[in-house]
Amino acid sequence: MSYLLIDIGNSYSKYALVDNNRLSSISHVKNSQFMDVLNSGALKTTERPKGVVLVSVIEKSLTNNIIDKLSKFFNCAVQQIKTSPIALGVTCGYTDYSLLGADRWVAMIAALSWVKKSPQLEPVLVVDCGTVLTVDVVNAEGQHLGGWMMPGRLLMSQALGQKASGILTGLEHSELDLQGNNAQQDEPVIGKSTWQCVNAGGQLAEAGFITECLLQAEKLLGVAPLCILTGGGAKEIAPLLTMRVEYVPELILNGLALFTE
């Protein structure tokens, strides 16, 4: 019997079924449309899931509303994953663990599980290129050593739109590029219109930030960690990085699946 996995991010939600560690029926939708999807019954599966495992970074009241609807709709338990001092071999590095975003926590757990399957256990740099770009360091023993955060490309574009609106005609196209609709990965990253310049600058800012995070992590660890890349903007950033990179688009869903075992 399968479980329903749901990852509610800052801008988008992903959901999938998992059965015997295999994901299926993977879908994503804007958060503004997620409740419509839920109310329409589009999440309904051919059989009632054994349970629902969910991680959410949105407002607590909205999350509770979604959990309540899911519980009634599927008539099963809904487990919300929250950050804890330790889980599935990963130890939180925050002084106050409750302040670490649950999505980052699940991503780190998934990343450690990923490297455990490889011939050599090694530290990881967990990079999530979403609305907020987050980077976390986890050593080979599963100790979270800390991390870094910065606004993602879309937030940077929106900030320019708010503070320098006169120069940004057609800024809405930057969101299309963030989802990989227009980016040309076999050409230099350079803009030929204002909004393209903004988006290209955002890409280079993200790539440079990740590269510097890797250098700082290497100083901390004494060895270069493996970079595990996920998030909506990761596919466009991966070719700009010169370090070892594993692109794992469903990293958080993979992490949620570990809580069903």
CA 73/CA 113 separation, integer angstroms? 32
Q: 241 phi and psi, to 5 degrees?
A: -95, 135
Catalytic-labelled residue, pool 103, 128, 136, 177: 103
Retrieve residue 52's tokens: 């629902």
Residues 142 and 234 in one domain: yes
179 pLDDT more than 50: no
Residue 139 lies in a domain: yes
Residues 136 and 214 in one domain: yes
Question: Residue 43, SS3?
Answer: coil
CA 33/CA 42 separation, integer angstroms? 12
- Domain's final residue, options 49, 80, 111: 80
Residues 135 and 73 in one domain: no
Name, of 20-24, 58-62, 157-161, the range with top average pLDDT: 58-62
Residues 14 and 127 in one domain: no
CA distances 143 to 40, 139, 221, 247, Å, are 42, 5, 11, 22
31 pLDDT more than 80: yes
Residues 224 and 128 in one domain: yes
**Residue 11 sits in a domain of what CATH number?**
3.30.420.40
* Mean pLDDT value across the chain: 87
Residue 66 lies in a domain: yes
Residue 178 lies in a domain: no
Residue 233 lies in a domain: yes
- Domain's final residue, options 80, 110, 129: 80
Digit-coded pLDDT (tens) for 45-54: 656 789 999 9
> What residues make up the domain containing 26?
3-80
Output 242-245 pairs: Cβ under 8 A, ≥24 positions apart: 242/211, 243/211, 243/214
Residues 29 and 133 in one domain: no
Specify the range with the lowest mean pLDDT, choosing from 48-52, 61-65, 102-106, 165-169: 165-169
Alpha-carbon dihedral sign for residues 247, 122, 106, 74:
positive
Residue 163 lies in a domain: no
Q: Please indicate whether residue 45 or residue 117 has the higher confidence score (pLDDT).
A: 117
Digit-coded pLDDT (tens) for 66-90: 999 899 888 899 999 999 999 999 9
Residues 7 and 65 in one domain: yes
Look at the pTM and tell me if it is higher than 0.75: yes
Tell me the percentage of the chain whose pLDDT exceeds 70: 89
Residues 9 and 71 in one domain: yes
Residue 173 lies in a domain: no
256 pLDDT more than 70: yes
Residues 127 and 73 in one domain: no
Any catalytic annotation for residue 103? yes
If one counts the domains in the chain, the total is 2
